[in-house]
Chains A and B, each alone.
Chain A
Amino acid sequence: MRKTILAAVAGLLLAGSISAASAADKLKVGFIYLGPIGDLGWTYQHEQGRLALVKELGDQIETTYLENVPEGPDSERAIEQLVRAGNKLIFTTSFGYMDPTLKVAKKYPNVHFEHATGYKRAPNMSTYSAKWYQGRYIQGQIAAKMSKSGVLGYIGSFPIPEVVSGINATMLGAQAVNPNIKVKIIWVNTWFDPGKEADAAKALLDQGADIIMQHTDSPAAMQIASERGKLAFGQDSEMIKFGPKAQLTSILDTWGPYYIERVKAELAGTWKSEDSWGGLDSHMFAMAPYTNMPDDVKKAAEETQAAITSGKLHPFKCPIVGQDGKEVECKGGANLDAGQILGMNFYVKGIDDKLPGK
């Protein structure tokens, strides 16, 4: 019910933005956001990307965004509204917009679409995402070096491949330092509920974990770790404000360069449908400064980052052994291939837990 209403509100907001539109010859670029811009996490970073785009190409383009657009069928109307408002390039920034974006894309072949974190493409619909697991491998390494109890606490949102591959990459990074490292995993089954994220962090700390890692969006877990004098990693954004003595680093989504590149291509008439899955090498994300750790840990983290960036180190380098003790078939030769990482549905050996649904 609430989602339907939000969609209606979004529609109204859109009506406002249409009437405000002007300057006919500028390229119109539209964005669909999942949450409120001020969520400090996912949507916030897409907005930062849009702002970087405006700063770079502001005199040639005009941007519109719709925030709080719920995933699923309702988003189709919102996307279509952006098309009718004259937007020629539209970024839809959440996994759940995949099918609605595809549907609208088929209806309007002359408009270009870009969908974040999906896997369905069309001649006028690209996809883009980032290899966050690379950053999580580095975090795992830092965590193993910094943990006194040898137990890491991991707050998961939903057991989907992106999150599972993050847990596995963390574990592989940690095992490279300490083969006996343990990880406790709590799924909260929400992307955003600060209270619940805080409760999960408390539960993990109460059970003996001394480092908190999260794949949820709010800074609540960071704050709990900070209160208890423990360590944590941020997510999507810089969260050091919430844990000046707790944040070790944070994966920072940096969409700006990608948005600028794609809009430039559109302006030049060279835009074509493709799949961009960039990592540290292509600046799709960055690592926040390494803080609250001794110099040698910091140095090791920087070296790992450099090795991953140059391609020398791959977090999913074969052989990878699954929880069942069997080696995972290596389709990509030396490393797991993209499909195996994007569809990951198993835990690596050493994780003493059961993957939900397995």
Chain B
Amino acid sequence: MLLVEAIILSVLAASTPLLIAATGELVTERSGVLNLGVEGMMIMGAACGFAGAWLTGSTIIGALCGIVAGILMSLIFALMTLGLAVNQVATGLALTILGVGLSGLIGAGFVGERIAPAAHLDLPVLTNIPLVGRVVFGEDGLVYVSLALIIGVWWFLYRTRPGLILRACGDNHVSAHALGYPVLRIRTFAVMFGGACAGLAGAYLPLAYTPFFIPGMTAGRGWIALALVVFSSWRPGRLVVGAYLFGAVTILQLHAQGWGIGVPSQFMSALPYLATVIVLVLLSRARTGGSTAPAALGTVFVPDR
């Protein structure tokens, strides 16, 4: 395998969980809800995803368990913030703590167990094409799912009527309500979609990335996904750029160290974050001259008041 090919494969794998989780959060935030509990939902997805795959021997069932765990976690969040109108920031943080603790408990019995990694696509002729073959046709299924997901979300948000309504809820919930749209119901679905994505992203880690479970294995990726949403200025296209850029710089800095480039490793480790911030700040400055956060993001909506 060529080095370039190997690097691209590593980049795709490293970026995929970030892209999936960030896509879900993008939809949630577009509906006007700020869910800071991505890390908690992810780690629950990792624990339940691994448990499911280990008990059944099936990666797909594992992924489904991860999704269900993420949705259940997001429902707790929806109940608190949409049902009881509790502060979203505080609830999101609490959700992360809950997830970290609970996943440790659920996963305790599975530490040290092994499962078969997610199967890689292997098309007889296509996968063997030099350079592009493995990269385009030889990934594990979730890499393709993540790409389909972001394209689907882009299409939904900008090309469909429900997508327009969802964005309206995020920009002005009072008007959307006055027009007769069920703001809270739409937001609940958006939050659930975010939970499903976070759960799947978490499940990616023990199913495909490093096929074992250890408490805390998401190691802050949920927070990176959250940051990517902000840096993408809530646009799917930029989100893809951001996620792959982050993955690429992460992997390239490891290679740079291996090649013996004499830059302090601490700086190299910070590089992905720096690069993402700089590029996406430049992107958002160039086109629109500012951030385009949904106007109602993070504000509580109580219809009857």
Interface string of B89-132 (1 = CB under 8 A from A): 00001001100110010011001101001000000000000000
Given contacts A195-B14, A196-B219, A209-B258, 4 further A-B contacts (CB under 8 A): A1-B93, A38-B215, A187-B268, A196-B250
Near B by CB (< 8 A), chain A positions 179-231 give: 184-190, 192-196, 198-200, 202-204, 206-207, 209, 218-220, 223, 227
Chain A residues with CB under 8 A of B268: 187
Q: Is B205 an interface residue (CB 8 A)?
A: yes
Chain A interface mostly helix, strand, loop or mixed?
mixed
Q: How far is it, in angstroms, between the C-alpha of A153 and the C-alpha of B254 when the chains are bound?
A: 12
Q: How far is it, in angstroms, between the C-alpha of A330 and the C-alpha of B7 when the chains are bound?
A: 43
Judging by beta carbons under 8 Å apart, are B266 and A189 in contact? Answer: yes
Judging by beta carbons under 8 Å apart, are A194 and B214 in contact? Answer: yes
Q: Is A333 an interface residue (CB 8 A)?
A: no
Q: Is A39 an interface residue (CB 8 A)?
A: yes
Judging by beta carbons under 8 Å apart, are B269 and A219 in contact? Answer: no
Q: How far is it, in angstroms, between the C-alpha of A6 and the C-alpha of B233 when the chains are bound?
A: 31
Q: How far is it, in angstroms, between the C-alpha of A206 and the C-alpha of B1 when the chains are bound?
A: 9
Judging by beta carbons under 8 Å apart, are A195 and B215 in contact? Answer: no
Q: Is B211 an interface residue (CB 8 A)?
A: yes
Q: Is A120 an interface residue (CB 8 A)?
A: no
Q: Is B80 an interface residue (CB 8 A)?
A: no
Chain A residues with CB under 8 A of B17: 195
Q: How far is it, in angstroms, between the C-alpha of A219 and the C-alpha of B117 when the chains are bound?
A: 15
Q: How far is it, in angstroms, between the C-alpha of A241 and the C-alpha of B114 when the chains are bound?
A: 8
Partner among B10, B210, B214 whose Cβ is within 8 Å of the Cβ of A40: B214
Chain A interface category by residue count = 35 or more
Judging by beta carbons under 8 Å apart, are A354 and B93 in contact? Answer: no
Q: Is A95 an interface residue (CB 8 A)?
A: no
| Complex: chain A residue closest to B261, CB-CB | A354
CB distance from A339 to the nearest CB of B (A): 25
Judging by beta carbons under 8 Å apart, are A242 and B216 in contact? Answer: no
Judging by beta carbons under 8 Å apart, are B10 and A203 in contact? Answer: yes
A-B contact pairs, 8 of them (CB 8 A): A35-B215, A38-B111, A194-B219, A218-B214, A219-B212, A241-B114, A354-B262, A356-B265
Chain A residues with CB under 8 A of B258: 153, 184-186, 203-204, 207, 209
Chain B residues with CB under 8 A of A9: 97, 101
Chain B residues with CB under 8 A of A5: 93, 97
Partner among A2, A188, A195, A353 whose Cβ is within 8 Å of the Cβ of B217: A195
Q: How far is it, in angstroms, between the C-alpha of A5 and the C-alpha of B93 when the chains are bound?
A: 9
Chain A residues with CB under 8 A of B7: 206
Partner among B221, B254, B260, B262 whose Cβ is within 8 Å of the Cβ of A199: B254
